[in-house]
Amino acid sequence: MLRIWTIAANTFTEVIRQPVYLVVLGCSLALVLLSPYFTWFTLMENLKLIKDMGLANLLLTGLLIASFSASTALHQEIENKTVLTVISKPVPRHIFILGKYLGVLGAILVAEYLLSIVLIQVVRTEITEAVYSKNDYPVLVGYLVAVNLSILLAAYLNFFSEKPFASATVTSALYLFTITFCTLSLLDNNWQLQSFAQNLDSNIILACLLIFFAVTILAAIAIAASTRLAPSGTLGVCAFLFLLGLLSDYLFGRSADDYLWAKLLYTVVPNLQFYLVTDAIIEKRDIPWDYLLKVGAYTICYLSSILSIAIVLFEEREIK
């Protein structure tokens, strides 16, 4: 376990130092934070669009970070032969793969956490095109302040302490965004004190958790693909399976009872529709806890399969 956590910690640090990680995270945060102002003039349906866009953004961000991070953490080390310094110590190859996966997953967890706490607060914003609506300026102002403080603090640490700017920004954002979330949970849209989390939608929290479950599968697929493919190939495989997973019910589910090939593909391809509960969120229906447990069990089984394939692919990879 010590070897796994050591490899995971080094991988996590390496991933969040990459500029592409910060760029993807920054763009996603901007889309979530400004989504109420992108949905003007939607015939009073902007809240539904904010929820739909926010959850889709979390899933797409997880896909991109998983693909780029796995390529950085694994494929580049194989190509540069730096992996030899680890597996020659000796460190078993399955330990190396599990450590890399946990490191990538940790970086994804940080990004999904930051996006989720912003989305949870943004969802409380009222309809903006109506005359009687009250814009939730505390959310916008609070997170804009947090973003700017994170950048300024990272610049200070980079200049005076020679800390990498990207990782310093992410670390600063973790603290400042958490403080901002807790502070906003005590304020209403008129800057008045309220009970903690009084105007927050708890179902959004569960929906974000389900999205993270889906992203763990995408990360495992990215790790498996990175054992043999270049970054572009890894992204292609992840994107292809991502689209198949979203369309699995339509492409294979309807024919699963009639054709063996459809049943086989319906079983093998990850069904990402299990993780998307946008309809329930929009219609304000509660998400049952037993559903979370069933989806969690499905995720664990699928992860075990994909990581086993990744280990086999890496075990048979000749590295000189």
Average pLDDT of the chain to the nearest whole number: 86
pLDDT reported for residue 196: 86
The yes-or-no verdict on residue 44 having pLDDT over 80 is no
Instruction: Please answer whether residues 158 and 168 qualify as being in contact, where contact means their C-beta atoms are separated by less than 8 angstroms.
Output: yes
Q: Is the peptide bond before 90 cis (omega within 30 degrees of 0)?
A: yes
Q: Which of 222, 208, 78, 16 is nearest to 8 (CA)?
A: 16
| Tens-digit pLDDT profile for residues 142-200 | 999 999 999 999 999 999 888 999 999 999 999 999 999 999 999 888 888 888 888 78
pLDDT of residue 281: 79
pLDDT score for 133: 58
pLDDT score of 278: 80
Domain coordinates in residue numbering, the chain: 2-315
What's the pLDDT score for residue 83? 74
pLDDT at 218: 92
Residues counted in the chain: 320
Percent of the chain with pLDDT over 70: 92
Check residue 216 and give its pLDDT.
94
Write the DSSP symbol of residue 254.
Answer: G
C-alpha distance from residue 231 to each of 127, 304, 312 (Å): 41, 23, 20
Q: Which amino acid is at 182?
A: C
* SS3 of residue 45 by DSSP: coil
Q: In this predicted structure, what is the pLDDT of residue 40?
A: 64
**How many CB atoms neighbour CB 250 within 10 A?**
9
